C-alpha cells in the first residue's frame, strides 16, 4: 500500500475518534447528572423533617438565650418547650400522618431525638400567601406545642388540686443515713393531714427494689420492698407507678411528668397513697417532686 493512502486512513480514523469522544463524554455527563439528581432528591416528608429540626433548634437556642438574659424575653404564641441546657436536636421523626386542621394549617405528632433523651411534641405548620411588588410569595410558619406524657390508664384527673411548688423540708428531720439519702432516686415529704405525725417522708431507692418510709420527724424508719415495680422499658422522665408493701404498710405511687423545675432532674405530680394495716387508716395526697429518673 502506498504511503499517502496509509496517511489518509490514519487521518480519517483520528478525526472519527475525535468526534466520538465528545459524544461519549456528553453521554457520561448526562448519566452522571441523572444519577446525581436521583441520589439527591428527597421526599416532601424528609424536607419537612429537616426544616422542623432546624426551626426547633432555633427555638431551643432562643429559650436558652432568654434564660441567661431575661431582658431579651418577648411575648410570643410559642410554648415554652425545654428548660434544660445543652439540648442539641439530632433528628425528628413523624409518629403519625399529617392532619389538616384547615386549608392553611396542619399538625403532626413529632418525636424529637436528642443526644441523651427523646421527647414528643406537636408541630403546627401554617402556610400563607403574601404579595411583595405584585408578586405572590408562599410563606410557612412552624410552631411547637408540648404534649404532656400520660399513661393510657391514667384518664382521671387527681381529686386533690395539683400543687404548684415542691414542699421543702430539712435533712435534720430525717432519721435516714447519708448512704440511704444518696441511694434515693426520689425523696419527698407528704402532708399527712389529721394524724399524730402530721407529715411523713418517703424515698424511692435507685436499686428499684425497696423504698424507705418515716412517719413524722426523727422517728423510726421502715425499709419497704417493691411489690409491683415500674416498667423497665420506660423512658427517663415518663409516667410510672409502683406499689410497695410489707406487713405494716402498703404504699402506692403514680407519677405523672410535668415541666422540669430543677436542672438534671425530672419533675412529677405524684399521687401518693399510704395504707396502714393495723389501724386501717388511709392517707392520700398529691405532691410535686423532683426525681433523678
- Of the CA atoms within 13 Å of residue 228, those in its CB half-sphere come to 9
Residue 32 Ramachandran class (φ > 0 left, ψ -120 to 50 alpha, else beta):
alpha
The residue that leads in pLDDT, 11 or 205, is: 205
- Distance between CA atoms of residues 199 and 187, nearest Å: 14
Q: Which of 3-12, 114-123, 137-146, 214-223 has the lowest mean pLDDT?
A: 3-12
- Distance between CA atoms of residues 292 and 207, nearest Å: 13
Give burial (CB, 10 Å; 0-12/13-18/19+) of 118: middle
- To the nearest 10°, the Cα dihedral for 93, 292, 245, 256? -50
Cell of 212: 424507705
| Mean pLDDT calculated for residue range 228-256 | 92
Looking at residue 283, its pLDDT comes to 93
Give burial (CB, 10 Å; 0-12/13-18/19+) of 264: exposed
Looking at residue 40, its pLDDT comes to 54
**Each residue's pLDDT tens digit, 166-202:** 888 998 999 999 999 999 999 999 999 888 899 999 9
| Mean pLDDT calculated for residue range 41-64 | 84
* Contact between residue 216 and residue 169 where contact means Cβ atoms under 8 Å apart: no
The rounded percent of the chain whose pLDDT value lies above 70 is 73
- Distance between CA atoms of residues 81 and 124, nearest Å: 14
Is this prediction's pTM over 0.75? no
Q: What is the distance between the terminal CA atoms of the chain, rounded to a whole angstrom?
A: 94
**Each residue's pLDDT tens digit, 70-89:** 665 555 555 566 545 447 88
- Distance between CA atoms of residues 65 and 82, nearest Å: 12
The residue that leads in pLDDT, 82 or 21, is: 82
Q: Which residue, chain included where needed, has cell 416532601?
A: 44
Q: pLDDT-derived band of residue 24, with 50, 70 and 90 as boundaries?
A: very low
Looking at residue 153, its pLDDT comes to 41
The residue that leads in pLDDT, 221 or 75, is: 221
**Each residue's pLDDT tens digit, 83-128:** 454 478 888 899 888 888 887 888 889 888 877 777 888 888 888 8
Q: Is the pLDDT of residue 159 over 90?
A: no
Q: Which residues contact 116 (CB under 8 A, 6 or more apart)?
A: none
- Distance between CA atoms of residues 220 and 247, nearest Å: 16
Return the DSSP state at 72. G
Q: Which residue, chain included where needed, has cell 436521583?
A: 38
Q: Which helix (H) or strand (E) holds 145?
A: strand 135-146
Looking at residue 132, its pLDDT comes to 76
For the chain, domain boundaries: 44-146, 171-291
Amino acid at each position: 500500500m502506498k504511503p499517502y493512502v496509509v496517511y489518509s486512513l490514519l487521518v480519517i480514523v483520528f478525526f472519527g475518534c475525535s468526534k466520538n469522544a465528545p459524544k461519549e463524554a456528553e453521554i457520561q455527563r448526562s448519566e452522571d447528572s441523572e444519577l446525581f439528581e436521583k441520589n439527591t432528591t428527597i421526599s416532601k416528608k424528609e424536607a419537612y423533617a429537616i426544616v422542623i429540626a432546624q426551626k426547633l433548634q432555633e427555638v431551643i437556642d432562643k429559650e436558652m438565650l432568654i434564660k441567661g438574659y431575661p431582658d431579651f424575653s418577648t411575648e410570643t404564641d410559642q410554648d415554652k418547650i425545654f428548660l434544660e441546657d445543652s439540648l442539641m436536636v439530632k433528628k425528628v421523626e413523624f409518629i403519625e400522618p399529617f392532619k389538616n386542621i384547615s386549608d392553611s394549617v396542619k399538625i403532626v405528632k413529632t418525636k424529637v431525638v436528642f443526644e441523651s433523651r427523646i421527647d414528643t411534641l406537636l408541630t403546627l405548620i401554617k402556610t400563607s400567601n403574601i404579595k411583595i411588588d405584585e408578586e405572590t410569595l408562599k410563606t410557612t410558619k412552624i410552631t411547637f406545642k408540648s404534649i404532656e406524657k400520660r399513661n393510657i390508664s391514667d384518664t382521671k384527673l387527681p381529686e386533690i388540686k395539683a400543687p404548684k411548688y415542691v414542699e421543702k423540708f430539712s435533712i435534720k428531720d430525717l432519721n435516714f443515713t447519708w448512704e440511704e439519702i444518696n441511694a434515693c432516686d426520689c425523696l419527698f415529704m407528704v402532708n399527712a393531714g389529721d394524724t399524730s405525725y402530721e407529715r411523713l417522708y418517703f424515698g424511692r431507692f435507685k436499686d428499684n427494689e425497696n423504698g424507705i418510709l418515716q412517719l413524722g420527724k426523727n422517728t423510726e424508719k421502715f425499709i419497704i420492698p417493691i411489690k409491683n415495680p415500674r416498667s423497665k422499658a420506660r423512658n427517663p422522665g415518663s409516667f410510672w407507678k409502683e406499689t410497695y408493701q410489707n406487713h405494716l404498710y402498703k404504699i402506692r405511687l403514680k407519677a405523672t411528668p410535668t415541666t422540669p423545675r430543677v436542672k438534671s432532674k425530672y419533675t412529677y405530680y405524684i399521687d401518693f397513697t399510704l395504707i396502714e394495716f393495723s389501724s386501717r387508716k388511709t392517707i392520700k395526697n398529691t405532691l410535686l417532686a423532683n426525681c433523678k429518673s
